Chain A
Amino acid sequence: EAQVTQNPRYLITVTGKKLTVTCSQNMNHEYMSWYRQDPGLGLRQIYYSMNVEVTDKGDVPEGYKVSRKEKRNFPLILESPSPNQTSLYFCASNIRQGRTEAFFGQGTRLTVV
């Protein structure tokens, strides 16, 4: 089954404690991206990757890092989480950038206290 898998689905953590949210897709897609969803703001892109070892900032990259060492995986790293990063996070993948359907993971609800 074609899918994008994020883990964990739910996470509560404390300010400053590094965390990683994993994302994996089994569709051999080149393009992957991370979004955060906040009430009244819709989805905002954090980072995206056009292929292995190619990543770039989206609209709200501050406080986040990503890596793309393999085509299937695109982890999101919060080196020092802060309460304003409490949000619902989605990973997505496309066959290629733009003009195609984006497949989304189930989301990770992160709370930073």
Chain B
Amino acid sequence: GEDVEQSLFLSVREGDSSVINCTYTDSSSTYLYWYKQEPGAGLQLLTYIFSNMDMKQDQRLTVLLNKKDKHLSLRIADTQTGDSAIYFCAETQSTNNLFFGTGTRLTVIP
């Protein structure tokens, strides 16, 4: 599979913004996704961005894509304790298979 890398841990204070970063190696990536995994649960799709876009906003979530640097980020505004979870970056490319990053564990401190 292709390399999709993320930092393993991130801690923020409640009410602050969180920024979770992801880098990938395959320049033929077509769609890039952010999934959220809450404790003891499966993954749920949060948002996605097509590779010809550079930004997408959905309520408190902002996705930024820098295709030149192969860098994807997820910004969560006004982070709440309910946002504590593991966040996975994922991509599909020419094979259409889904490749996941290592996941970033976000801890929100009250």
Instruction: Give the B-binding residues of A (Cβ under 8 A).
Output: 4, 33, 35, 40-45, 48, 58-59, 90, 92, 97-99, 101-102, 104-107
Contact = CB atoms under 8 A, between A and B. Distances in A.
A105 B101 contact: no
B97 interface: yes
B31 A98 contact: yes
Given A98-B31, A99-B30, A105 B92 contact: no
B4 interface: yes
Interface of B: 1, 4, 6, 8, 30-31, 35, 40-45, 48, 88, 92, 95-103
Nearest to A90: B42
21 contacts: A4-B42, A35-B100, A40-B102, A42-B4, A42-B100, A42-B102, A48-B97, A90-B43, A92-B42, A92-B43, A97-B96, A97-B97, A98-B97, A99-B30, A99-B31, A99-B92, A102-B43, A102-B45, A102-B98, A104-B44, A107-B40
B7 to A, nearest CB: 11
B100 A99 contact: no
Contacts of A40: 8, 102
Nearest to B4: A42
A42 B103 contact: yes
A108 B42 CA distance: 10
A108 to B, nearest CB: 10
B102 A98 contact: no
Given A42-B88, A97-B97, A98-B96, A59 B1 contact: yes
Contact of B42 (A98, A99, A105): A105
A106 B98 contact: no
Contacts of A33: 98
B36 to A, nearest CB: 11
A106 B88 contact: no
Given A42-B4, A43-B88, A106 B97 contact: no
Nearest to A99: B31
A107 B40 CA distance: 8
